[in-house]
Amino acid sequence: MNKTLLLTSLLLVTACAGQPSMTSAERLELYRAHAGEPVSSFQVTGRLWGWRSLGNGALAVWPRSNQGFLLELSGPCPDLAFAHSIGLTSSGGGRVSAGFDRVIVRLPTSRTPNRVGCHIRTIRPFNTEVVKESQSDLGEGEVTDRDPSIPDEPTQ
């Protein structure tokens, strides 16, 4: 009887433990594998449904629960992995564009985020049916108008 109880308890603990979490690099490869061709921009109004850091050079954003985009940045984005929220710039009307807009990182210890931000190089839609994330596991984000005093980076 004790052996059966012990075995049942062990099976329950193993089932509840689930799979080990992926590293940022593994998660980025998963998103890349399920992303489509690059698009020039996407529409979002006000707040993002959620976002997830994929290392210091990429992130996934959800404008809506059933729509997601992989954003790859022009270079490393310091502190992206530690951000408690992000902002995306837009040219107005909530349109976020590759080559023009940026990711603004907000850290819990900083009252004012770096308003220059990290330049978005590419935008690729991904399949949200395959790459599923719980909203409780995602960060908060918003979209703000692009600051016209910050010059655009030249496209390469």
Distance of alpha carbon 156 from alpha carbon 150, whole angstroms = 18
Most confident of 89-98, 113-122, 130-139, 141-150: 89-98
Rg (CA), the chain: 19
**How does DSSP classify residue 139?**
B
Average pLDDT taken over every residue of the chain? 79
| pLDDT at residue 110 tops 70 | no
* Nearest residue to 27 (alpha-carbon basis) of 51, 43, 48, 44: 51
Q: What is the mean pLDDT of residues 48-75?
A: 94
Confidence at residue 45, expressed as pLDDT on a 0 to 100 scale: 81
* Alpha carbon distance, N-terminus to C-terminus of the chain: 70
The answer, as to whether pTM is greater than 0.75, is yes
pLDDT band at 143 (very low <50, low <70, confident <90, very high): confident
Residues 2-41: tens digit of each pLDDT: 554 334 333 333 333 444 588 889 999 999 999 999 999 9
**71-90 burial, b if ≥16 CB within 10 A, otherwise e?**
bbbbeebebbeebebbbbbb
Given a cut of 60, whether residue 70 has pLDDT beyond it is yes
Task: Give yes or no for residue 152 having a pLDDT over 90.
Answer: no
